[in-house]
Amino acid sequence: MKEEIVRFGVSLPRKLKEDFDRIMKKKGYRNRSKFIADLVRKLLVEEEWEKGKEVVGVILLIYNHHQRELVEKILDIQHHNTKNILSTQHIHLDRENCLEITIVRGKPGKLQKLWGELGSLKGVKFSNFLPATTGKHLI
Ligand code: NI
């Protein structure tokens, strides 16, 4: 089913419009409509998170696998959360450092707690979380 496209006019202060075009180009967009649509979608994903809908996310960990018991603790947390973990990918960066991404799905609060549990383990040098969407509520 093809979605109907509607047009609408936008009024902006000149400086703001210049900033808009500058940022749009910097991000690699060549089309204002596509840029605005993606900005709105970003806000819709934020709303999904605020409303506590089922969402997906990516947990990134950088850690030293020589840290005592760290790998066991990470595996233990992952085995206790199989309902929320879709996939894990592990990359050995060098002799001691590992990068691990875990793709998670569930309620926002649960996923953020899981990130906190993993990211706060001793030996984790860096962690980050990318909130995303199941895509069900977006076109
Ligand atoms: Ni490794």
Could you tell me if residue 7 is inside a domain?
no
Are residues 93 and 26 part of one domain?
Answer: no
> What CATH number has the domain bearing residue 22?
1.10.1220
Indicate whether 21 belongs to any domain: yes
Instruction: Tell me the average pLDDT of the chain.
Output: 95
Q: Are 58 and 98 in contact (CB under 8 A)?
A: no
The number of folded domains in the chain is 2
Q: Ligand 1 center to residue 25 CA distance, Å?
A: 38
- Sign of the C-alpha dihedral, residues 81, 82, 88, 92? positive
Distance 121 CA to ligand 1 centre (A): 16
Is 40 strand, coil or helix? helix
For CA atoms 128, 131, 132, 134, the dihedral sign is: positive
* Same-domain status, 45 and 68: no
- pLDDT confidence of residue 91: 97
Render pLDDT for 37-96 as a digit per residue (tens, 0 to 9).
999 999 999 999 999 999 999 999 999 999 999 999 999 999 999 999 999 999 999 999
41 with 61, same domain: the answer is no
Q: How far, in Å, are 38, 40, 134 from residue 31 at the CA level?
A: 11, 15, 26
Query: Residue 122: pLDDT above 70?
Result: yes
Same domain, 82 and 117: yes
* pTM for the model: 0.86
For residue 4, tell me if it sits in a domain.
no
Considering the domain architecture, whether residues 79 and 122 belong to the same structural domain is answered as yes
Q: Are residues 31 and 69 in the same domain?
A: no
Which CA distances in Å does 129 have to 57, 59, 81, 104, 115? 7, 5, 17, 10, 7
State the pLDDT at residue 1: 66
Range of the domain at 22: 14-51
φ, ψ at 103 (rounded to 5°): -95, 125
Q: Where are the beta strands (DSSP E) in the chain?
A: 55-64, 85-92, 97-106, 124-132
- For residue 93, report the distance from its CA to the centre of ligand 1, in Å: 7
CA of 21 to the centre of ligand 1 (A): 43
